[in-house]
Structure formats: structure tokens, C-alpha cells
Amino acid sequence: MAKQDIVGSVDLGSNHVVCVVGRPSDNGIIEVLGAGRVETKGIKNGVVVDVKEASEAIEAAVRSAEESSDQVLKHLYVALRGSHLESHNSRGTVAISRTDKEITEEDVDAAVETAKRNIRISADREIIHSIPQGFTVNSQTGILNPVGMDGSHLEVEIHVITASCDHLNNIQKAIARAGFDVVEFIYGVLSLGECVVTQEEKDLGCILVDIGGLSTGIVLYQNGGIQTSSEIEVGSDNITKDLAHFLKTKAKTAAEIKEKYGVAMKKLMKADEASQKISYTGIDDKTPREIKRQEIIPPIESRLDQIVTFMADSVAKVGYSQELFAAGVILAGGGSRLKRIDEAFQEWLKLSARVGIVTDVEGEADVVGNPSYHTAISMLKYHFGDTRSAKPRRGGGKGMWQSVSKWWEEAF
């Protein structure tokens, strides 16, 4: 395997900075060679709040991944998350004025560029992804690949994701200070969808819900591709905080109780679980306390219900009904580790639900099987596999567009 085929990716989470090193194998499987995870410092909800602390955390995670993989990294793919991300849908049309009327890759590029110009994006924001959703040639809709077809008018519908330039620059500074370069910024939930959502689920219609520490990413898929994406400022850390207040204990203790005893919905508890006693210490780490397991569920369930409500609102806002998502809900992120969360979402939404697992990936079970690593792993698969996305890259402080024709090569 060539040295250049080995790639490092970094996920700047609210609780942990995660780095994964991997490469593609000859059979198409992504091989995870090593991973590193350290406690997050200087980063909150995907935004750098202290460049020095953030760079130290990033360097520690990458060095750990280098050591476990016996590789040396210089360039990194970086996941983006947080409320500074925004998404838009747009359309662009171009006329095919040539005599032969045959649509070329250049025509597709031109249509996408027109669609991007039709979105009002302020100077302090940068386009991260421009994702073609479908094409219309003359009056024929539902075209996936118009290249080679004859027509006089080509229209494209795209989904665009933008990020704050200041936030991108601060992340890039922190990574540069740690001694590395940013190859590309990738919206973490988008890459995660390439890893935990099947193509059949995208064809039938589904909802990806990535529950992070301080935010939850939601992506709606219809007709085989992404339709909308959004971020809400509620995540698993909010559940921990609510539980800490309720139990009058430290957040660390509350997190341990949530992970060991938490259940997503009270009605899903078994009788012997409900009466189980939980012993813990108070805020002073000394005072002994005790509570029945069923009593810790209401604050957990209440915050999850808020996430579900936000999700349902995002579906309704774009004019979709939940019935259109026949493949149901796919749950991901650290928050998806909560016991019976898939059953709870089924109860709330009356849709099928499952916890996403990464496919076509090999590596240590405690890495590949841990949702906390899945975003970083998914960026490897996104990079090496079929991405269906025109991707801007940042290198040396400058943004440049990968041609949409490259998207055609990857997708078809």
C-alpha cells in the first residue's frame, strides 16, 4: 500500500478530540490502523475558544494515533460540527446553446455554479459542500446523471452547507500550531451518513440523527440522496447536566450513572431494573446518596423528547411528512449509546429506528464498535469511497473547489 494512501482524520468533539489513521485495502474495506482520543480542551460545540489549549489537545490525539498505528501524519481531514454551520437548497439553470446539444461535464459545473450564486451567502461564510440532488433536462425531471444526454436547458438542485470563516480559520490555526495541515473540512454528519446509512435506506427515505455532546445533527434523505441538514444546540451533555442537577452531584458522576444505568424511556424499563438501587456521592464527593433507578429516567427522557421535537419540527419545516421516511431513523454519535434509545425513538415517532454501525471497516473492536470514533472513521470512508459531493478543500490557507466533474467520476 502506498504511503500516500494512509490518511488521518480528526473529530473535534465537545468531550473528546479523536484522531483515526486508516487506509483502503485491496477488497474495498477501510482498515483502521490506529486511533487516539483525549479529553477536549479549548473547543466547545465545534468552535475553538482557546487556540493554545485546542492545539495541545489536537496534538495529543494525533500523536496517540500515530503511536498506535506506527505512522507519521502531516495532513489531516477535519470534521466540522456545531451551530455555526448552515444549510441551503438552491437551483441553477444553464442553456445548452451548442449545435449538438449534448450536455457535458462543463455544463454540469456551470449549472452548479449558477445554483451557488443564487444563494445569498455573506462574506464571513464559506461553502464547505455543494451536493447535487438531481437534475432536470428540458422538462424531464429526476435525472441523476445528465452528462451525454441531449437538451437545450439543464437545471440542477443542490444542497449547500456553509461555515463561519472565523471558526474555520481558528480551527486551522489550532491545527497548524499543533504541527499539522488541514487537507479538507468535512461536515461530520454528512460523512457519517456515508458510513452508517445504507443506499437502500437513502432510496426509501430516512433520517440520520447524530447526537453529539452539545449539538445534534439531523440529515434527511429522500430518493437516494441528501435533502436537508440542520444542527440543533442540544446534545448528550445536556442530559448529563440535567441529571447532575437532579442528583445534586458532579457532572462526571452523573455521566457515569447515565452510561451505566440510564434508559431512554421509563416505560421501557423492566420491573427489576426500575427498583434497582443506585449508590453515589454528592457534589462534595463524600456525602453518600442513594436513589432508585427509575427515578433518574425522567430528566433523561425529557431532554430526549426535546431532541425528538426539534427533529420533527425540522421535518415539518421543509414540507415533509414522517410517513415519507419508510426506512425510519438511524441514530449515531456518543448519545446513541444510551440504553434502548432506538426503542424510545420508535415509540415517539412511530417509525422504525436503529443505532448505526459502521460497515466495510476493519480494526480494533473497541474503536470500530464505539460510536465516539465513528465520525472520524467515516471521514476515511468518505475520502476513499464514493462521496457524491463536490468538495472544497482548504490548503495553505486558501479555499479551492474540486471540479464537479470529479463528483461524477466518484458517483458514477
Decide the pairing of beta strands 353-355 and 16-24. Answer: unpaired
Note whether 153 and 190 are same-domain residues. Answer: no
Domains contained in the chain, number: 3
**Number of residues assigned to the chain:** 412
| Helix ranges restricted to H, 32-131 | 51-69, 105-117
- Cβ atoms within 10 Å, residue 142: 9
With 60 as the cut, is the pLDDT of residue 390 above it? no
Q: Report helix, strand or coil for 408.
A: helix
Note whether 214 and 350 are same-domain residues. Answer: yes
Note whether 319 and 232 are same-domain residues. Answer: yes
Q: What is the mean pLDDT of residues 228-237?
A: 93
Between the CA atoms of 122, 124, 129 and 131, what dihedral angle is there, to the nearest 10 degrees?
0
Note whether 54 and 114 are same-domain residues. Answer: no
Contact between 73 and 62 (Cβ < 8 Å): yes
For residues 324 and 192, give the distance between their C-alpha atoms in angstroms, rounded to a whole number.
Answer: 22
Q: What angle do CA 308, 88, 107 make, to 5 degrees?
A: 140
What pLDDT score was predicted for residue 180? 97
Phi–psi pair at 61, nearest 5 degrees: -65, -45
Note whether 208 and 317 are same-domain residues. Answer: yes
Q: What percent of the chain has pLDDT over 90?
A: 79
Q: What is the mean pLDDT of residues 282-293?
A: 96
Domain limits for position 270:
198-355
Residue-wise pLDDT for 102-115, tens only, equals: 999 999 999 999 99
Between helices 297-317 and 236-247, what is the axis angle to 10°? 150
- Considering 311, 335, 355, which residue would you say is the last residue of a domain? 355
Between the CA atoms of 4, 51, 82 and 39, what dihedral angle is there, to the nearest 10 degrees?
80
DSSP class per residue in 167-195: HHHHHHHHHHHTT-EEEEEEEHHHHHHHH
For residues 264 and 304, give the distance between their C-alpha atoms in angstroms, rounded to a whole number.
Answer: 7
Note whether 62 and 145 are same-domain residues. Answer: no
What pLDDT score was predicted for residue 4? 57
Between helices 51-69 and 165-177, what is the axis angle to 10°? 60
- Considering 337, 355, 373, which residue would you say is the last residue of a domain? 355
Phi–psi pair at 405, nearest 5 degrees: -60, -30
Note whether 191 and 259 are same-domain residues. Answer: no
Supply the DSSP symbol for 1: -
- Output the domain CATH number for residue 122: 3.30.1490.110
With 90 as the cut, is the pLDDT of residue 196 above it? yes
The mean of the pLDDT values for the chain is 90
* pLDDT band (50, 70, 90) for residue 172: very high
Note whether 122 and 233 are same-domain residues. Answer: no
With 90 as the cut, is the pLDDT of residue 384 above it? no
Distance of CA 412 to the CA centre of its chain: 24
What pLDDT score was predicted for residue 344? 97
Provide the β-strand partners of residue 8. 21, 76
Note whether 17 and 43 are same-domain residues. Answer: yes
What pLDDT score was predicted for residue 3? 53
Q: Which residue has the higher pLDDT, 319 or 129?
A: 129
Note whether 252 and 336 are same-domain residues. Answer: yes
- Considering 118, 143, 162, which residue would you say is the last residue of a domain? 162
- Residue 283 amino acid letter: I
Q: What is the pTM for the complete model shown?
A: 0.88
Note whether 205 and 284 are same-domain residues. Answer: yes
Q: What angle do CA 182, 186, 190 make, to 5 degrees?
A: 165
Q: What percent of the chain has pLDDT over 70?
A: 92
Q: What angle do CA 189, 258, 38 make, to 5 degrees?
A: 55
Note whether 138 and 262 are same-domain residues. Answer: no
For residues 217 and 210, give the distance between their C-alpha atoms in angstroms, rounded to a whole number.
Answer: 5
* pLDDT band (50, 70, 90) for residue 31: very high
- Output the domain CATH number for residue 270: 3.30.420.40
Name, in order, each residue with C-beta under 8 angstroms of 161's C-beta and a sequence gap of 6 or more. Answer: 85, 86, 87, 127, 128, 129, 131, 187, 190, 229
